[in-house]
Amino acid sequence: MKIIVDYDLCESNAICMGIAPEVFEVRDDDLLYILQENPPEELRERCEEAARRCPKQAITVED
């Protein structure tokens, strides 16, 4: 599984961080950082949830 963020779309709403903080972190500079580009399979459901809830649809989860 691979997490891809379109940083042109991302507005750091931080919804993803609320759903999967192991993968997504918005830091004090208000920018989104990906903590694991290839998270383990057990995080798939939450990563897909984060992609679905992103207000800007900036996250893609690839197999």
Partner 1 sequence: MSVLVAGASLAGLSAAETLRKSGYESEIVVVDRSTTLPVDRPPLSKQILSGEWALERAVSHSHGKLDNWGLDLRLGSAASRLELDPLRVTLEDGSVLEPEGVVIATGSRPRHISDSASRLQGVHVLRDLAHTTALRSDLESSSGPVAVVGAGFIGAEVAATCRSLGHEVTMIEAAATPLVRVLPAPIGQYIAGLHRESGVDVRLGVGVADIVAGPDGHVRGVAMADGSMIEATIVVVGIGVQPNVEWLEGSGLDIANGVTCDARCVASPRVVAAGDVASWHNPRYDRRMRVEQWEHAIGQGEHAAVVLLSEMGFAGSGEVGAFDSVPWFWSDQYDRKIQMAGIPDASDEMVVVEGSIEEGRFAVLFRRGERCSAVLGVNRPRHVMQARMRLEQSLDWDGVISLFD
Residue 48: CB minimum distance to partner 1, A: 9
Burial class (CB in 10 A: 0-12, 13-18, 19+), 41: exposed
- Helix and strand totals (H; E) in the chain: 2, 4
User: Interaction with partner 1 in 7-26: which residues (CB under 8 A)?
Assistant: 11-15, 17-18, 21, 26
Residue 60 makes contact with partner 1 by CB under 8 A: no
Residue 36: CB minimum distance to partner 1, A: 18
